[in-house]
Chain A
Amino acid sequence: GIQVEQSPPDLILQEGANSTLRCNFSDSVNNLQWFHQNPWGQLINLFYIPSGTKQNGRLSATTVATERYSLLYISSSQTTDSGVYFCAVSGSYQLTFGKGTKLSVIP
């Protein structure tokens, strides 16, 4: 099956700092999604981005499908950005999740 690797596994940021999270995957995919799991455990959809670039407020994402990676950019981080960020990919219909990047934003 498809392998998904996320880096870094842990990240601590000062409030206001920027960050880049990376997701590498082992095979061609039809679906790539980024999620934020907040401290209450809820999974929030951030981006559906099998290719190209999208932006939503302080967040943006880029997927280079031919090189099998995706990047999630967080600018001007806030404490509410804390949590775990998951990348998930699919070649058919079942999403395969990476192990996530645990982000802690400190005031």
Chain B
Amino acid sequence: NAGVMQNPRHLVRRRGQEARLRCSPMKGHSHVYWYRQLPEEGLKFMVYLQKENIIDESGMPKERFSAEFPKEGPSILRIQQVVRGDSAAYFCASSQGTASYNEQFFGPGTRLTVL
């Protein structure tokens, strides 16, 4: 059973470029979450999606960040016009049902470096 897959594992961008991070949930999971880990900080919730729906994006910066989970294909976290402060590890998690009563499983993360 494949776990949560994320790619790329490492991504380097120059200021002003776009970053696209991909996440494929575990088989049978239809709930996806994105978290960000800034250097020397804990993990913070960004967004919760189900297929074709954003359920909660309260943790996502209002500008430059967007997320989607289309009917087909992986979930995408998109960061436009990246700045140095976006450098962080971005983790995706998935659960079988709503995470209120279901375990979340995490991918290996994408480490974004903005030069």
> In the complex, which of the residues B35, B42, B101, B106 contacts A100, with contact meaning CB atoms closer than 8 Å?
B42
* Distance in angstroms between the alpha carbons of A94 and B101 in the assembled complex: 11
B contact residues, total (Cβ < 8 Å): 28
* Distance in angstroms between the alpha carbons of A25 and B106 in the assembled complex: 22
Decide yes or no whether A77 CB sits under 8 A from chain B.
no
What chain B residues lie within 8 Å of A99 (beta carbons)? 41-42
Contact A41 B111 (CB under 8 A): yes
Contact B56 A93 (CB under 8 A): yes
Contact B111 A94 (CB under 8 A): no
For A96, the closest partner residue in chain B by CB is: B45
Q: A93-B56, A94-B33 are in contact. Are A31 and B99 (CB under 8 A)?
A: yes
What chain B residues lie within 8 Å of A91 (beta carbons)? 100
Decide yes or no whether B69 CB sits under 8 A from chain A.
no
Decide yes or no whether B109 CB sits under 8 A from chain A.
yes
- Considering residues B33, B41, B45, which has the most beta carbons from chain A within 10 angstroms of its beta carbon? B45
Decide yes or no whether A56 CB sits under 8 A from chain B.
no
> In the complex, which of the residues B93, B100, B104 contacts A92, with contact meaning CB atoms closer than 8 Å?
B100
- Residues facing B in A83-100 (CB within 8 A) are 86, 88, 90-100
Q: A41-B89, A43-B109 are in contact. Are A93 and B103 (CB under 8 A)?
A: no
Contact B42 A31 (CB under 8 A): no
Q: What 0/1 pattern do residues 64 to 107 of A give for CB contact below 8 A with B?
A: 00000000000000000000001010111111111110000000
